[in-house]
Structure 1
């Protein structure tokens, strides 16, 4: 899987460059933020950004420039897009993915939270994100959240980082990216998981935008993960 803030997928030759990234890195899934695509053009642009045997899902920003989040995946995965109500502070696209190698489905949610927020706006984001986590809790056991959260998680003593990580801990989510993902520094593009194993995570600059791409492997999730965790918690 790969995660990349593309800062306008409709720019000249950028869709082809994104398709090339998928092929060159042998990706099954690419998650994009800041696509800047609209309802009028997202289908044609994403088709150009997909190699053969790929499909896509997208959520455009309503009524304003910028934003937009997408999920592209190989058709060897089966996907079903889902929606959550009352989310206003961030953009997301959510898909339940399955394939023949997995014993259980995985919920994949790709997020974009814009920068330049006030303290109050950040707390509103935390409230919305917590509401979404409550909605999926007990419904989807195997979860991946990705996206550009625009939270400086590399600054561990910053209050926003402390509050964000406290919320993740409450819902059993693990954050895997530990290096800067933006050309001006800071770790903004995150991979959060619950009951899913991530390995071989790398970050490098594909020269598409001002963000690096995050590439990682997802181990085949199985039904045992949750039962084993419960037994461990009980023993402790």
Structure 2
């Protein structure tokens, strides 16, 4: 995608726009040349990450801006892409059209010195539709003498002008078709151009993952009951030792059933409705396509078209069934999250520019630690004030200790929890929920041992801290633009929510909450 008038300036102001572009289109790379002085201008190109892209050195031209890229999808399929923008004549831009013709001819001499396939696209701000004008005839002569041709014959501007052009070599079939659409919120139309070139290489990422789908749950639960978590010896009552045993045994069992494997995977859109039957139908469609292409028989072509129709129907049915089931199983909050995820593109984490992950993590750690220390020092320097509040009535109730919870109470808390997983968890939350009947006694012991001892195990105090930008318009390279978000393990959240529930019940039962308080209280929003 070639873009003109990007309005990028090459300074810190661009970071917000570029970050949003990267988050919204993670499979694309944005190559651009900003306009360093003045308003407007700038050209850019959005390309799939599967393309190999290199920049060619630029010459300075006064009458237009351009970006020169070499684009290749394989060793034998490459072309040169020029994104060009010529500003229209105005009070500030008094460069004569003759200067543009001279400089554009100089650029073509450079480009045509190489036999490489060529495409030039952009906003030339020349009224090509007025074919009798001298400047149009002059421009077309330049193209004809350079053995180039323009593929745009329709209007590209809301006023009926043809200003945006797509140019290639006269004897090259790189451009197969072009069309325009005026459905964009712009005075210029979008030009859709189909190129005769190979698809970009698939984008791959090196990952370390487990194959959780192939875990046999019966055997997995049986190994849990056979582990030291269910030993017949002296039961472990110390919360520290119990959490250590819980983490150690579950990690060992998970490694036995789904060991971590390193692999290079192709990045594809998330499609949870894509089942094994759909995969088989797609493979069958591809097999019939190869056969029809090989034999050229009508019967094989019809068989291929039938398989295409069948696959599309199965795909539509799978999508509909998946989302229909999601909607039926959702309460109001889950339904809002589902609608939000479908209507708003998934955003990647915005981070400052950095040379290494370790350096960035160290910088954030030092910054947050310094900030907390500064806050504590400021609080210590504050003058002591009498913060006591006179209460007319006395309260005889007290919360001296926490009550043990039953398995039913723990089960209710587990079911209410979402499936998000922390890297500190010994097994993923989704897998834990599948074997809840087996792990429920263990998790109940973990919660009760912590409540009885009045101690939070050290492993539960550990968290994965992720920086999140406070507002989208803040400078992304300044650490103060971020806030720390802590992600605790599932067991820690279980204990935390149990304690919060008992404290809230105590406060509510004894009427210790202010009548006017609505924050952090269910069903009290005003």
TM-score normalised by L of structure 2: 0.35
User: Matches of 1:47 and 1:93 in 2, distance apart?
Assistant: 21
Unaligned stretches of 5+ residues in structure 1: 1-29, 222-236
Q: State which structure, 1 or 2, has the greater radius of gyration over its C-alpha atoms.
A: 2
Query: Where does 1:145-224 land on structure 2 (aligned, <5 Å)?
Result: 145-194=120-169, 195-220=172-197
Contact 2:5 2:41 in 1 (8 A): yes
| Greater strand share, structure number | 1
Q: Does 1:59 align with 2:36?
A: no
1:45 pairs with 2:17: yes
1:165 Cα shift?
0.5
Long gaps (5+) in structure 2: 199-526
Instruction: String of CA shifts for 1:194-214, please: whole Å, max 9, x gaps.
Output: 134212311011323111100
What does residue 5 of structure 2 align with?
34
CA displacement, residues 8-58 of structure 1 (integer Å, 9 cap, x when unaligned): xxxxxxxxxxxxxxxxxxxxxx10001111102445423423512110111
What's the Cα RMSD here? 2.0
The CA deviation string for residues 122-142 of structure 1, in whole angstroms up to 9 with x for no partner, is 110011111111112222431
Aligned to 1:214, what secondary structure does the other structure show?
A: strand
* Contact 2:63–2:95 (8 Å) recurs in 1: no
- Per the alignment, residue 106 of structure 2 pairs with 131
Tell me how far apart the structure 2 counterparts of residues 170 and 43 of structure 1 sit (CA, whole Å).
42
Task: Tell me what 1:72 maps to.
Answer: 46
Structure of higher RCO (CA pairs closer than 8 Å, 6+ residues apart): 1
Does structure 1 conserve the Cα–Cα contact (< 8 Å) formed by 2:177 and 2:193? yes
Distance in 2 separating the partners of 1:200 and 1:192: 12
Structure with greater proportional helix content? 2
- Does residue 122 in structure 1 map to residue 97 in structure 2? yes
**Residue in structure 2 matching 1:103, options 66, 76, 90:** 76
**Matching residue of 2:208:** none
- Deviation >4 Å, runs of 4+: 117-120
Conservation of the 8 A alpha-carbon contact between 2:117 and 2:174 = no
Is 1:141 the counterpart of 2:116? The answer is yes
Deviation at 1:112, TM superposition (A): 0.5
TM-score computed with the length of structure 1 as normaliser = 0.75
1:152 shift after superposition? 0.5
How far apart in 2 are the matches of 1:173 and 1:47? 37
Q: CA deviation at 1:220?
A: 2.3
Q: Judging changes above 3 Å, is the alpha-carbon distance between structure 1 residues 143 and 196 closer, same or farther for their aligned structure 2 residues?
A: farther
- Mark the CA change 1:128 to 1:162 in structure 2 (over 3 Å): closer, same or farther: same
Query: What is the match of residue 21 of structure 1?
Result: none
